[in-house]
């Protein structure tokens, strides 16, 4: 029996196509307590690419003491060979030391990871927000000099577990500081999943007013309160065309325990297919990849679409 597909009812309020920025191998696995072998991680990336994911963030060059799960970054990239070295396989770099490792591995794209709040910057980066920008400046400058594509993540854009609500002007200021370094793309992180549709519209409008239009923005929603897909569709209606998602809904943040799973890639693809939006992704292959990875982790996928289509 063929897997069911959504009935297509084109939605003219959405973009014609969307780029899904897959974060499963990095953000999805970073908080797993069971260490996943490098061979499995590399196979995960290959399967995602075969399923049509256009961008797959592969790993992080953070200090292994902080994120032991990703201590094998060099090994994973070596296993991927040339496939791990182009602009469609970004890696996270926290500082110049991480960049040195990434450059030695021959990567083609990097991402830095800032914060909209002082508390999270102190906990995650051991810096103030301003200090973290100073830390990232040489990372971005060196990356651009090497011809790399650079992304800037900003976490806690919609709320912080220690500081509570985060004023929109404060988020815009943090985003501008990082983008002014010369980054190519901004990813707005709802790290603890508290964002709502109206909040999304207001932040995107404020960023646009500040000179950061939706063509330079990706969105990264966590599904703690079940709002990730609704918030994503709101962002797409405001002109955003890049969405971060994690196969099987894997993920969290090792520095913020209230940050549960990311938006599941399968749930996003189902919704976009139903709206007639092109992604280039084979949903059947993606579900099969999620089922395979869930088996590697020893637990079922939290994705609603994966559960429905796999009977699990």
In a domain, 47, yes or no: yes
Reading the block at residue 204, the tokens are 């995107």
Q: What is the domain count for the chain?
A: 1
Looking at residue 182, what is its pLDDT? 98
Domain CATH number, residue 255: 3.20.20.70
The DSSP secondary-structure symbol of 17 reads B
What is the Cα–Cα distance from 28 to 26, expressed in whole angstroms? 5
Between β-strands 185-190 and 149-155, what pairing exists: parallel, antiparallel or unpaired? parallel
In a domain, 28, yes or no: yes
Reading the block at residue 290, the tokens are 């999620």
In a domain, 14, yes or no: no
Looking at residue 252, what is its pLDDT? 56
In a domain, 164, yes or no: yes
Under 8 Å between Cβ of 249 and 260: no
What is the Cα–Cα distance from 77 to 89, expressed in whole angstroms? 10
In a domain, 12, yes or no: no
Q: Which residues contact 311 (CB under 8 A, 6 or more apart)?
A: none
Q: Residue 299 sits in which domain range?
A: 19-310
**Positions of the chain with pLDDT lower than 70, given as ranges:** 1-3, 252-260, 312
Helices (H) and strands (E) in the chain, counts: 11, 9
Looking at residue 258, what is its pLDDT? 43
Looking at residue 299, what is its pLDDT? 85
Residues in the chain: 312
The residue annotated as part of the active site, out of 157, 175, 183, 253, is: 253
What is the Cα–Cα distance from 309 to 3, expressed in whole angstroms? 6
In a domain, 58, yes or no: yes
pLDDT tens-digit readout, 92-128? 999 999 999 999 999 999 999 999 999 999 998 999 9
Looking at residue 301, what is its pLDDT? 86
By the 10 Å C-beta count (0-12 exposed, 13-18 middle, 19+ buried), 122 is classed as: middle
In a domain, 229, yes or no: yes
In a domain, 8, yes or no: no
Reading the block at residue 226, the tokens are 């079940």
Residues 70, 217, 88: CA angle, nearest 5 degrees: 45
> Any catalytic annotation for residue 157?
no
């Amino acid at each position: 029996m063929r897997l069911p597909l959504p009935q297509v009812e084109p939605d003219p309020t959405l973009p014609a196509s969307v780029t899904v920025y897959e974060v499963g191998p990095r953000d999805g696995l970073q908080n797993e307590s069971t260490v996943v072998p490098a061979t499995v991680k590399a196979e995960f990336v290959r399967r995602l690419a075969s399923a049509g994911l256009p961008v797959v963030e592969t790993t992080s060059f953070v200090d292994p003491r902080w994120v032991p799960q990703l201590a094998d970054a060099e090994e994973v990239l070596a296993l991927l060979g040339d496939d791990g070295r182009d602009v469609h396989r970004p890696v996270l770099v926290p500082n110049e030391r991480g960049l040195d490792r990434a450059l030695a591995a021959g990567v083609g794209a990097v991402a830095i990871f800032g914060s909209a709040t002082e508390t999270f910057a102190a906990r995650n980066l051991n810096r103030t927000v301003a200090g973290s920008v100073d830390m990232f400046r040489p990372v971005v400058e060196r990356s651009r000099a090497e011809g790399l594509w650079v992304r800037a993540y900003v976490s806690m854009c919609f709320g912080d577990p220690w500081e509570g609500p985060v004023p929109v002007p404060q988020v815009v200021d943090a985003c501008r500081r990082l983008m002014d370094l010369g980054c190519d793309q901004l990813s707005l992180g709802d790290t603890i999943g508290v964002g709502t549709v109206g909040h999304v519209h207001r932040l995107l409008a404020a960023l646009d007013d500040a000179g950061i239009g939706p063509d330079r923005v990706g969105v990264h929603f966590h599904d703690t309160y079940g709002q990730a897909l609704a918030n994503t569709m709101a962002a797409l209606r405001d002109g955003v065309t890049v969405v971060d998602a994690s196969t099987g809904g894997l993920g969290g943040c090792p520095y913020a325990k209230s940050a549960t799973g990311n938006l599941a890639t399968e749930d996003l693809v189902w919704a976009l297919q139903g709206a007639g939006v092109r992604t280039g992704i084979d949903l059947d292959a993606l579900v099969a990849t999620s089922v395979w990875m869930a088996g590697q982790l020893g637990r079922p996928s939290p994705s609603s679409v994966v559960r429905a289509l796999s009977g699990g």
